[in-house]
Chains A and B, each alone.
Chain A
Amino acid sequence: DTAVSQTPKYLVTQMGNDKSIKCEQNLGHDTMYWYKQDSKKFLKIMFSYNNKELIINETVPNRFSPKSPDKAHLNLHINSLELGDSAVYFCASSQGGPGTFGSGTRLTVV
């Protein structure tokens, strides 16, 4: 069983479209995160949720809207996609310790 699973693994879409990435963890963790890894491999946190509540929003454009229907899920919806949104997006979860990461979603905006 995959601990943190993200879908889709790859996403190619046109500028201006709206898309969603889903994340689910089966570890029973209270905290979930979204990270963005750019083309230079730099990892930056976007959002952090604890028990379905947003606790960290790192000045991400409001075109990005996370949603946590329950503490095992944290989805990321992106409106009006731009070329600069192309990156690998990682979901992670944690329970008072090191994060467990998903395998990433490679988003390419054309």
Chain B
Amino acid sequence: AQSVTQLDSQVPVFEEAPVELRCNYSSSVSVYLFWYVQYPNQGLQLLLKYLSGSTLVKGINGFEAEFNKSQTSFHLRKPSVHISDTAEYFCAVSRDNFNKFYFGSGTKLNVKP
């Protein structure tokens, strides 16, 4: 079975500072990895995905993530955040059939002016 751990429930950061949101997963088989963003009272929007190939994945809104198989991590990073990045971020994994996605508990990113 898969599990996804997001170590930080909340991350406060000042505008224009860099940020890293951590995600670790456990799985005995290969998985696909995703980051989603949820703005207040909205659905989930895909930020980026790792399916195969380069371990550094670039997504929308200037976010990127690096797949590290040895550390079973898929941390999300942005070099300079904006107020508009304030949202809840979810890491998710799925296996090759995509029958279900396992989500982490979410990290609330709070960008302060």
A and B from one complex: yes
Residues of chain A having any CB pair with chain B under 8 Å? 4, 31, 33, 35, 40-45, 48, 50, 55-56, 58, 90, 92, 94, 96-104
> Can you name 6 A-B pairs with beta carbons within 8 Å?
A33-B100, A40-B105, A43-B44, A43-B103, A98-B46, A101-B43
User: Which one of A35, A97, A104 lies within 8 Å of B49 (CB-CB)?
Assistant: A97
Is B88 engaged at the interface, CB distance under 8 Å to the other chain? yes
Is B13 engaged at the interface, CB distance under 8 Å to the other chain? no
- Given known contacts A101-B44, A103-B43, is B100 in contact with A41 (CB within 8 Å)? no
User: Which one of A40, A45, A96 lies within 8 Å of B100 (CB-CB)?
Assistant: A45
CA gap between A43 and B103 in the complex, in Å:
6
Q: How far is the CB of A72 from chain B (nearest CB, A)?
A: 18
Task: Find the residue from A43, A94, A102, A103 having the highest chain B CB count within 10 A.
Answer: A43
Q: Are A44 and B49 in touch, CB under 8 angstroms?
A: no
Is B99 engaged at the interface, CB distance under 8 Å to the other chain? yes
Q: Are B90 and A90 in touch, CB under 8 angstroms?
A: no
Given contact pairs A41-B106, A43-B106, A58-B100, enumerate 6 new A-B contacts (beta carbons under 8 Å): A4-B43, A31-B99, A35-B103, A55-B99, A103-B42, A103-B43
CA gap between A92 and B94 in the complex, in Å:
14
User: Which one of B44, B51, B94, B106 lies within 8 Å of A90 (CB-CB)?
Assistant: B44
Q: Are A99 and B106 in touch, CB under 8 angstroms?
A: no
User: Which one of B36, B99, B105 lies within 8 Å of A42 (CB-CB)?
Assistant: B105
Q: How far is the CB of B103 from chain A (nearest CB, A)?
A: 4
